[in-house]
Amino acid sequence: LQFFMSLNETQGPASGTRLHNFPPYDLTPLTGLSPHREVLTRRLQSLYVIMSDKNPVVITSLEAVFSRILPKEAFVGSLEYLEVREEVDRESFLRKLETNGYQRSSLVEEQGDYAVRGGVIDVFSPLYPLPIRLEFWGDRLESIRQFDPLSQRSQDQLKEMVLLPANEIIMDRDNIRRARSMGRLPKQTENGMGFPGQEAWLNHFYSRLDTLFQYLPKSGLITFFDPHRAESVSQRMEEKFQHDVEKFRKEAAERRMPFPEIEGIFVPFQEISQQFENHQQLAFS
């Protein structure tokens, strides 16, 4: 796609490009391990641009499409918009960073990190190619600057920014209460509110889940390659998913570890087909 699109066509707003990738997890979180942070970053960035950017191009796969994701309402509710010279309750803002999956560190180097030094908060949002430095005077946001994570030197100055969540599990009070009401959760990490493999526990934190197509505007166009293979691929994926569930549920029982409720996580082919029908389609066989 980059080959066929001009430079102007590939450029986007905050993220710097119109081309995005919504990948599947690089490993199943049923293992008790979370996907690589870069995978999570690409997924979250794609969800945001689908809703907000003008004519974004998002590339995905059947493997990613057939798994349910956090509800659009929860994702939108987690977004934080900041402007220079506005009043920001710093303590509430820091709590929201933790709630949204950011991990505190001494130095911000990767997307999903944040650091606090006096009146300065550094944060690396999934939406931006560089981390952001927020400089406060009390609760007044004085400046928003991008900076180089290697040299730590400030670069471009921004008038505003959008803070995306750094994880698909929003650890707010209501979601945590719901999850705990469904049983024991795995032990949380020391540097954040999350836990390894939490992406498998979506059913515990949300009363309902969405699919990627529920983020897509009604005017969105779905371009499908080899649609005749979709049903057979879906069947193979569902068989693998059920095999993984049985395998890792048994392993969790042997280790006396909690195992997530996974009913409905895999989206049936018929449901995805119906969602296809709600949008314009272009098929290549």
CA atoms within 13 A on the CB side of 198: 26
pLDDT value of residue 36:
94
HEC string of the chain equals: CCCCCCHHHHCCCCCCCCEEEECCCCCCHHHCCCCCHHHHHHHHHHHHHHHHCCCCEEEECHHHHCECECCHHHHHHHCEEEECCCECCHHHHHHHHHHCCCEECCCCCCCCEEEEECCEEEECCCCCCCCEEEEEECCEEEEEEEECCCCCCEEEEECEEEECCCCCCCCCHHHHHHHHHCCCCCCCCCCCCCCCCHHHHHHHHCCCCECHHHCCCCCCEEEEECHHHHHHHHHHHHHHHHHHHHHHHHHHHHCCCCCCCCCCCECCHHHHHHHHCCCEEEEEC
At the top level of CATH, the class of 7-71+197-284 is alpha beta
- CA dist 139 and 40 (Å) reads 31
pTM over 0.85: yes
Q: Which is nearest to 282 in space by CA: 224, 220, 227? A: 224
pLDDT value of residue 147:
92
pLDDT value of residue 208:
95
Q: Which residues pair with 113 in a beta bridge?
A: 103
pLDDT value of residue 132:
96
Would you kindly state where each structural domain of the chain is located, as residue ranges?
7-71+197-284, 80-163
At the top level of CATH, the class of 80-163 is alpha beta
List average pLDDT for each run of 10 residues in the chain, which is 285 residues long.
46 64 95 94 95 90 94 96 94 94 91 93 94 94 92 87 95 92 81 84 96 92 89 94 96 95 94 88 85
Give me the sign of the Cα torsion angle 206, 24, 277, 267.
negative
